Structure formats: C-alpha cells, structure tokens
Amino acid sequence: MHTRQLEITVGAFMAAGLVALFFLAMQVSNLAGITAGEGYEVTARFDNIGGLKVRSPVSMAGVRIGRVMGVHYDQSSFEAVVTLSIDPAYNQIPDDSIAKIYTSGLLGEQYVGLDPGGSLESLEQGSEVMLTQSALVLEEIIGQFLFSKAEENALSDEPAGQ
C-alpha cells in the first residue's frame, strides 16, 4: 500500500513538471501572448530584417505594443515588407515614427522598436511606416572594421613623398 502511494506521488510530481515545462516553452517561443484579430495593422519596409520572425515583439519606449504578424519579400522593390499588429490601446502613434530592428538578449532575439515622430496625424489600419532602419548584421560590421584596418595599414606602409 505504501509503494502504491509513493508511485502516485511520483506520477503527480512528473505531471506537474511536464505542465511547467510546457508553459516555459510557450513563454520562450512567444506563443503565450498571441492575440488573434485584435488591433490594427501597419506595414514597414526594410532593406534587411536580419533574423526577425513572425510573432516578434513590437515595442515603443521599452513597452510591448504589438507583434510582427507577417514578413514577405517584395520582388519589385527588393525589400522585406513587415506587417505589424499594434494593440488598439496604442492608437496615438505619430505617422512619421521610425521603425528600427533591434537585437535583445544573449540569444539575439530581434524585435521592432518604434521611435515616435512629431506629426499630429496618427498611424491607422493600413498605414505604412515610411522611415525605417534595417537590422545591424554583425558580419557586415566586422567586415567594415577589418577593411578599414587593412586600408589604414596600407596607407601607413607607403613611403613619404609618393
């Protein structure tokens, strides 16, 4: 009888552990806060979105105000078009705001940050954010640094008077 009670306790503990693991996985993958059909959608065009994914956060002043709902490639302009769903509570965002792609954390999760502009007009359903800044790609930054160092060394190796 005592063995049976121990087996039930261990089983309940394992079930609670699996439920906790499931909720942890939902939080890490950004699936916990999905809202379906709420808010208004705006688009932004970027030259490079890096690793931005659907369901990535959209934030303003560090506060999450929405999510990335879609990413696709425009073959005519050669740009990535990102569809952002903004929560309806945030309906006073100036239409000349700047959308930037930032990287957060050690794992490099990317998100869209909005910097407010000064316009009196607000973004609304179907608007497009005209001012954007693409993601910083680490490989490009390292390449530019190495190229500038190589160029600097080449100039310092030239004899004087040439």
Are the C-beta atoms of 122 and 94 separated by less than 8 Å?
A: yes
Please tell me the pTM assigned to this model: 0.67
Nearest CA to 58 out of 37, 26, 79, 33 is that of 33
Q: Does residue 100 sit in helix, strand or coil? A: strand
pLDDT, tens digit, 9 for 90 and up, residues 105-142? 766 788 999 999 888 999 999 899 999 988 877 777 78
Which tokens in the block code for residue 68? 């990335």
